[in-house]
Chain A
Amino acid sequence: MLLAAGASETFTPESWFFDNAWTIPALPCAAFILILLFGKRLPYKGAEIGIASVVTALGLAILTTGAWVGEYESHQGSHSAEAVTQDVELAQDTDSFEIAADAGEGGEGHVKAEPVVRKLDWLSSNGKSFGIGTLVDGQSVMMLLVVTFISTLVHVYSTDYVHGDRRFTHYFAFLSLFTSAMLFMVLSATTLQLIVGWELVGVCSFVLIGHWWEEKANSDAAMKAFLTNRVGDIGLLIGMTILFFAAGNTFDILDINDAAINGEIAHSTLTWASICLMAAVMSKSGQFILHTWLPDAMAGPTPVSALIHAATMVVAGVYMVGRLYPVFWDGMSIAGSSINLMALIGGITCVFGGALAFVQRDIKKVLAYSTVSQLGYMVMALGVGAWTAAMFHLFTHAFFKACLFLGAGSVSHACHHSFDMKADMGGLRKYMPTTHKTFLIASGALAGIPPLAGFWSKDEILAGTGGWPGTNGNGTYYIIFAMGMLTAAMTAAYMARTIWLTFYGDYRGHEEPHESGKRITVPLMILAFLAVVAGFFNMPSQWVGDGLGLKFEQWVEPAGTRLPGNFTHAKPSISLAIVASLLAVAAGAFVWNYYKKLYAKDPKATEYTDGLASRMPLAASAHKVLEEKYYLDHLYTDTIAAGTKGPLARAAYWFNQNILDGIVDGAGKGSVGLGRFIYKYIDQGTIDATVNQTAAGAGQSGGILRRVQSGKIRQYATLMFGAAAVLVAIFMAAV
């Protein structure tokens, strides 16, 4: 609205740290090589190299952040004198209310930092050059800080947690590589680098999730994570290729963004590109239907889960959306309407993911689904145009989610490596006071209890949807807003359940639990402290004044040219904040009382028989669906993956038996008759016959294909040379 008038001044930040940002990912990478080469022979088995490198990287990241903030504040200081006079002049001839609001929002009254790009040509072929370089702006500086910070704490924590493990050195080597890969991705100036970092992150997560690969379940989980991510990676490659050609043969992220903003790329091209890229985001950032690998990835050591969920792996997708925001914003918006597909995906993910967290027995899986849900929140925020809110939520979420995961690890450390809340936990607050307190604070932050970190970021997202009166975001999304509110309530509820089951009631495990050592509790306390204060970086200016408010937005938000031009920030609303907080507290209290009553009858019960699920048939079927994770895993493994071997028919039959019949029974007798009719005639007669024939056809073609795989070297060689001859012939004919 006010873009032309308040044209914000841009400046180019200068500092040694921005020019040499490559050193930050280079340090852990060097550590990876050194640990592999010499780790086993060192007194601490290589952990000291990893910690030293990541602490140095953290130091550099802090200095970089300091330089960035310092540059901003000094330019802002010299600018604000002029800006005030400008604003006054403008206020006389335009609507003064809007100007005041916008200036307060940190948009136009503030200077903007230009990204610092340092690039060199990696290789050039046929006139196209493939660059490699670093891109330093608010977003990447923020991520550098988060990644190195969480990684440092995870490193320290790990020295105790995986102490004595047979692959201790190997573990630290890959922890370093994981950190390095994520930092490399964060700093990438070209989409090509983004892909490389993205894949490296995937490989490292595979190795670390399968760290204890001797157990089949763990190596399966690693495979699942890797394969699910491959599905998205294909989308990433295709999407990036489309963007390369659409933006005029360039891999440069800034060039692509500029092309998208200036309308040089057709809307349909952007749509295809962003749909392909969205597949990658969905698999990496665990968005609904491709999120199934995330809970299974809990098979890895707990510090790795913390790293994956808080700082490295899963936020990669959100980060990429933020990076290529003009592409996604334009591409994912459905033509002719104001609905953005991204918001829908995020909204569905946060509701469905949150619902799954209710039925888990495994404390880490609760947290995993909560991550899915919170990532949905971020994607939803990006979808409604609340870029800064999404990044801020990423920032705060990193701290409290890392705290929760490390807390869960501490609990399992005490409970003899069990994660089962119902069977082995309960009443732990007496035994583990530090873990209990930090877990409580982080849960409060996650649930959005003021004034903890999550409250500020969640509130900003909710305001960003524009669904609450007087918030005025980039449109008014009532459904998305409702989904956000629902998720906020659900988050508080399932965290209340988790805390009750873990820390309250009576201890249900065997043997005495004990508080963890210093190397575990100190990182927890640091993270809990941050879970309290991280939110203060972006308090609305309207509430706390311009001097304190919206610092995060001013520091992180990129220069105006890199976000689509017509962006505005939603106005914060006190009534919304109060309602959302009360909703969260009420939901939490309700669940708390429910469990308190449930366990009052038999404090030692590891399975309770008179819960909601056993009293109400509707709740029971909902419970069943949730426990089976919406049957998505069955869909993937039984139907899609094993489809060629013929269980298609079985799966369809099973689907019928379990789901259709379940619904039918609940609905009543009349429906049962209908169900029987369907089952007998339509299903058996039509569907099964079709399905059987499909399976038989697949089986036959499999049999034919099988003959090619004879294992005979000679046959392979014959095919290879024959195929080469045929290809040469085709080539000759074509040229």
Chain B
Amino acid sequence: MLLNQFLGLAAILFCIGVYGVLTRRNGVMVLMSIELILNAVNINLVAFGAYQGDVGGQVFALFVIAVAAAEVGVGLAIVLLIYRNRRSIDVSEADLLQG
């Protein structure tokens, strides 16, 4: 098998995730797309770990999974807060940072 088979799959999933982040308006769905991006990165980590014969790739994939769990927890809390304040989780409406 080629290393590029895995890397290519990861690249496709990554770009789909980016597309999702950029087009979704629902906060929860944006978070889902971010999970997709993180998964693509994990495939890369594990693939490179296997390629180098190093267990580190896998270990870091595990760390990323743990960090992703934390990220979803905090992210959902923020989305809930936005929902409570604005009765909507449309991220395109949250534009108070406008300059």
List the interface of chain A (C-beta within 8 A of B). 706, 708-714, 717-718, 721
Contact B98 A710 (CB under 8 A): yes
Contact A713 B91 (CB under 8 A): yes
Residues of A within 8 A of B96 (CB): 711
Q: How far is the CB of B85 from chain A (nearest CB, A)?
A: 15
Contact A718 B95 (CB under 8 A): no
**Chain B, 11-32, contact with A by CB distance < 8 Å: what is the 0/1 string?**
0000000100110010000000
Contact A713 B94 (CB under 8 A): yes
Residues of A within 8 A of B21 (CB): 717, 721
Q: Is the interface of A mostly helix, strand, loop or mixed?
A: helix
Residue of B nearest to A706 (CB): B99
Residues of B within 8 A of A721 (CB): 18, 21-22
Q: How far is the CB of B35 from chain A (nearest CB, A)?
A: 15
Bound Cα distance from A132 to B86, whole angstroms:
51
Residue of B nearest to A724 (CB): B18
In the assembled complex, 24 residue pairs joining A and B whose CB atoms fall closer than 8 Å, in A order, are A706-B99, A709-B97, A709-B98, A709-B99, A710-B95, A710-B98, A710-B99, A711-B95, A711-B97, A711-B98, A711-B99, A712-B92, A712-B95, A713-B91, A713-B92, A713-B95, A714-B22, A714-B25, A714-B91, A714-B92, A717-B22, A721-B18, A721-B21, A721-B22
Bound Cα distance from A710 to B94, whole angstroms:
11
Residues of B within 8 A of A706 (CB): 99
Q: Give 11 A-B pairs besides A710-B98, A714-B92, A718-B22 with Cβ atoms closer than 8 angstroms.
A: A711-B95, A711-B96, A711-B98, A712-B95, A712-B98, A713-B91, A713-B92, A713-B94, A713-B95, A717-B21, A721-B18
Bound Cα distance from A718 to B22, whole angstroms:
6
Bound Cα distance from A265 to B97, whole angstroms:
49
Q: How far is the CB of B22 from chain A (nearest CB, A)?
A: 5
Residues of A within 8 A of B22 (CB): 714, 717-718, 721
Within B41-87, the residues touching A (CB, 8 Å) are none
Bound Cα distance from A588 to B91, whole angstroms:
69
Bound Cα distance from A708 to B97, whole angstroms:
11
Bound Cα distance from A723 to B46, whole angstroms:
27
Residues of B within 8 A of A717 (CB): 21-22
Bound Cα distance from A289 to B45, whole angstroms:
54
Bound Cα distance from A717 to B25, whole angstroms:
13
Q: How far is the CB of A714 from chain B (nearest CB, A)?
A: 6
Residue of A nearest to B98 (CB): A711
Residue of B nearest to A708 (CB): B99
Residues of A within 8 A of B98 (CB): 709-712
Q: How far is the CB of A7 from chain B (nearest CB, A)?
A: 58
Residues of B within 8 A of A709 (CB): 97-99
- Which 3 A-B residue pairs are closest in the complex by CB-CB distance? A709-B99, A711-B98, A711-B95
Residue of A nearest to B94 (CB): A713
Q: How far is the CB of B37 from chain A (nearest CB, A)?
A: 10
Residues of B within 8 A of A714 (CB): 22, 25, 91-92
Residue of A nearest to B93 (CB): A712
Bound Cα distance from A718 to B91, whole angstroms:
14
Bound Cα distance from A708 to B22, whole angstroms:
16
Residues of B within 8 A of A710 (CB): 95, 98-99
Bound Cα distance from A709 to B95, whole angstroms:
10
Q: How far is the CB of A538 from chain B (nearest CB, A)?
A: 57
Bound Cα distance from A713 to B97, whole angstroms:
9
Centre residue among A710, A712, A714 by max chain B CB count within 10 A: A714
Residues of A within 8 A of B91 (CB): 713-714
Residues of B within 8 A of A711 (CB): 95-99
Bound Cα distance from A721 to B21, whole angstroms:
10
Residues of B within 8 A of A713 (CB): 91-92, 94-95
Residue of B nearest to A721 (CB): B18
Bound Cα distance from A132 to B22, whole angstroms:
45
Residues of B within 8 A of A712 (CB): 92, 95, 98
Bound Cα distance from A713 to B92, whole angstroms:
7
Residue of A nearest to B18 (CB): A721
Residues of A within 8 A of B95 (CB): 710-713
Q: How far is the CB of B38 from chain A (nearest CB, A)?
A: 15
Residue of B nearest to A707 (CB): B99
Residues of A within 8 A of B99 (CB): 706, 708-711
Bound Cα distance from A713 to B60, whole angstroms:
29
Q: How far is the CB of A702 from chain B (nearest CB, A)?
A: 10
Residue of B nearest to A705 (CB): B99
Q: How far is the CB of B75 from chain A (nearest CB, A)?
A: 12
Bound Cα distance from A51 to B22, whole angstroms:
55
Residues of A within 8 A of B97 (CB): 709, 711
Residues of B within 8 A of A718 (CB): 22
Q: How far is the CB of A204 from chain B (nearest CB, A)?
A: 30
Q: How far is the CB of B10 from chain A (nearest CB, A)?
A: 15
Bound Cα distance from A714 to B92, whole angstroms:
7
Residue of A nearest to B96 (CB): A711
Bound Cα distance from A713 to B24, whole angstroms:
11
Residue of A nearest to B97 (CB): A711
Residue of A nearest to B19 (CB): A721
Bound Cα distance from A712 to B98, whole angstroms:
7
Bound Cα distance from A709 to B21, whole angstroms:
19
Bound Cα distance from A706 to B98, whole angstroms:
9
Q: How far is the CB of B90 from chain A (nearest CB, A)?
A: 10
Bound Cα distance from A706 to B25, whole angstroms:
23
Q: How far is the CB of A519 from chain B (nearest CB, A)?
A: 47
Q: How far is the CB of B82 from chain A (nearest CB, A)?
A: 11
Bound Cα distance from A333 to B95, whole angstroms:
54
Bound Cα distance from A721 to B22, whole angstroms:
9
Bound Cα distance from A41 to B22, whole angstroms:
49
Bound Cα distance from A714 to B94, whole angstroms:
10
Residue of A nearest to B24 (CB): A714
Q: How far is the CB of B20 from chain A (nearest CB, A)?
A: 11
Q: How far is the CB of A436 from chain B (nearest CB, A)?
A: 54
Bound Cα distance from A276 to B48, whole angstroms:
45
Q: How far is the CB of B77 from chain A (nearest CB, A)?
A: 17
Bound Cα distance from A710 to B97, whole angstroms:
7
